[in-house]
Each structure stands twice: as structure tokens, then as C-alpha cells.
Amino acid sequence: MEAVSRRLEERTPLTVRVDLCSLDIRHRTHEGLTDNISTHGARVVSSDPLRLNERLNLWSLPGDFRARARVVYCEPVGNNSFAIGLQLLATTGDWK
């Protein structure tokens, strides 16, 4: 019997421009667009891949949403395009 993986919470489709900044200040900021969000996660599409388990600061543009996040997956979705799954660890503000 095959186990079925299901999300514990609903995802809300939302497209918002975000900045993703590594906690390691030697790395540059990445830009992306959210694909969907939930209370504890977000899927972001970016032209830059990120490392599994990398810790980031996320800022929504516009809006005042801020989060500390962890990369849970990063997979190619086209030429120079990556889907990045983020676990949101600490949040404040609103997406829009």
C-alpha cells in the first residue's frame, strides 16, 4: 500500500514579489514571486536555486510581511526557473 502525502493546511494562490536574503551576509539577495502561501509555508518561483535547509529572511514587496524561513525543497520548473518551498518559522505583518 502506498502512502499518500497531504498538506496539513490549505494553500492560498497569491502572487506577490518577494526578496529572499540569506542569513549569511556574504550571499546576495534573491528575488521571486510567490505561487501560493499558507500560514506556515510559501512556494516561491525564482531564477536562482537555493540550498536545502538554507535559512532566509523573506520580505514581501508590497506589504509589510516579514518572515524567517527555511528552504524545504528547490526544484527546476523550466529554463532558469526554480520552485522553492519555504517553511515560515517566524512571521509578522500582512502579505498585502
18-46 mean pLDDT: 90
Kindly report the average pLDDT of the chain as a whole number. Answer: 90
Pick the CATH number of 12-92 from 2.60.120.920, 3.90.550.10, 3.40.710.10, 2.40.10.220: 2.40.10.220
> Does pLDDT of 28 surpass 90?
no
* Structural domain boundaries in the chain: 12-92
- Residue 41 to residue 18: CA distance in whole angstroms: 14
Helix (H) or strand (E) holding 81: strand 81-92
pLDDT digits (tens, 9 = 90+) for 44-56: 999 999 999 999 9
> Does pLDDT of 22 surpass 90?
no
CA torsion, ordered 8, 23, 94, 71, to nearest 10 deg: -20
Contacts of 5 (CB under 8 A, 6+ apart): none
Read off the C-alpha cell for 41: 509555508
